[in-house]
């Protein structure tokens, strides 16, 4: 029987985004504050996922051996380093989160049966790499606060309570929603980026956070006048809002995860969603009535 195992590791490092072929104003326009000398640092959190057959000892791999390999090949060289200079790969392609995850895979692949490399630059920004050439995944986290009521208008209060419990109470209730937006695309061979991170965050802010934050979804968002704003339906709505703006950035929307509370969350895999029911409108703000 095959299993997937995960090993966590940490390292601290600094980096700078700067392309010598660009002028100072061009670099600042492209990379913003990340161009400042002597760079900036992060406490990186690394998850190495591996798979294989269970052996006679009930293990896929000896984790003591895995720990030594990760330290020798990755965390030892990278810890307390200036990433731009530590490995030759970063002379060609900047050490962005997504490119760093890709290079870590390349360093570990000869030694471990890898499934995924997940690298957190900080809790609201991380990348995943699965060994697919230059293709990688980048996730940005954010949050908004909103109220909702779960009830079907054609049902009585008692009937809605049977389905939705306390969530059907007439005056609604609120949540501090945590949103994770994952995009997929090719890591640029020079900048190391899938998309401009500032532009990506601006799209999420403008298209999702600003319209939804501090609203009563049932009354303030026309879509939810007819669609019950469950976490699942909110995630589908957000996916349809973001699909085309992210395509315009040059990436593909891969996943939406919405955490309603520490106990409740949902995920939408966007390829499945869009394949099953293509968006009915091309305009932001008029998502397909899916779900």
Cα-based torsion angle of the residue sequence 27, 33, 39, 43 in order, rounded to the nearest 10 degrees: -130
Partners of 146 in the β-ladder:
175, 215
Q: Of 98, 121, 252, 260, which one is the catalytic site residue?
A: 260
Whether 175 is catalytic is no
Count the neighbouring beta carbons within 10 Å of the beta carbon of residue 79: 15
Distances (CA, A) of 113 to 2, 97, 147, 246: 12, 22, 45, 33
Q: Of 3, 162, 214, 226, which one is the catalytic site residue?
A: 214
Whether 91 is catalytic is no
| Residues sharing a CB contact under 8 Å with residue 237, sequence separation 6 or more, in sequence order | 221, 223, 224, 227, 287
In this structure, are residues 259 and 177 in contact, taking their beta carbons and an 8 Å threshold? yes
In Å, the largest CA–CA distance within the chain is: 68
Q: Of 167, 232, 266, 267, which one is the catalytic site residue?
A: 167
Whole-angstrom distance, CA of residue 244 vs CA of residue 260: 25
Whether 270 is catalytic is no
Whole-angstrom distance, CA of residue 191 vs CA of residue 157: 56
| Residues sharing a CB contact under 8 Å with residue 175, sequence separation 6 or more, in sequence order | 145, 146, 147, 148, 260, 261
Rg of the chain on CA atoms, in Å: 22
In this structure, are residues 193 and 200 in contact, taking their beta carbons and an 8 Å threshold? no
Count the neighbouring beta carbons within 10 Å of the beta carbon of residue 66: 20
Distances (CA, A) of 238 to 192, 198, 235, 281: 27, 19, 5, 14
> Residues with catalytic annotation?
167, 214, 260
């Amino acid at each position: 029987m095959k299993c997937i195992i995960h090993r966590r590791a940490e390292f601290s490092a600094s980096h700078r985004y700067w392309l010598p072929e660009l002028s100072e104003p061009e670099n600042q326009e492209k990379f913003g504050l990340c161009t400042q000398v002597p760079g900036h640092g992060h406490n990186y959190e690394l998850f190495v996922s591996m798979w294989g057959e269970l052996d006679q000892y009930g293990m896929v791999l000896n984790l003591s051996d895995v720990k030594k390999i990760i330290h020798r090949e990755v965390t030892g060289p990278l810890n307390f380093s200036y990433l731009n200079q530590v490995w030759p790969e970063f002379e060609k392609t900047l050490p962005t989160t997504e490119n760093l995850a890709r290079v870590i895979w390349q360093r570990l692949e000869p030694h471990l049966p890898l499934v995924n490399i997940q690298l957190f630059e900080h809790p609201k920004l991380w990348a995943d790499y699965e060994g697919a050439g230059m293709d990688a995944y980048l996730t940005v986290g954010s949050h908004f606060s909103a109220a909702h009521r779960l009830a079907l208008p054609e049902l009585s209060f008692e009937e809605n309570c049977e389905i939705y419990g306390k969530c059907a109470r007439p005056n609604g209730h609120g949540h501090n929603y945590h949103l994770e937006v994952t995009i997929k695309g090719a890591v640029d061979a020079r900048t190391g980026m899938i998309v401009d991170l500032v532009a990506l965050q601006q799209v999420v802010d403008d298209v999702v956070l600003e319209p939804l934050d501090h609203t009563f979804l049932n009354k303030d968002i026309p879509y939810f006048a007819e669609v019950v704003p469950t976490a699942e339906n909110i995630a589908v709505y957000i996916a349809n809002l973001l699909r085309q703006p992210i395509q315009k950035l040059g990436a593909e929307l891969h996943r939406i995860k919405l955490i309603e509370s520490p106990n409740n969350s949902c995920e939408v895999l966007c390829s499945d969603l869009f394949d099953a029911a293509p968006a009915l409108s091309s305009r932001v703000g008029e998502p397909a009535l899916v779900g």
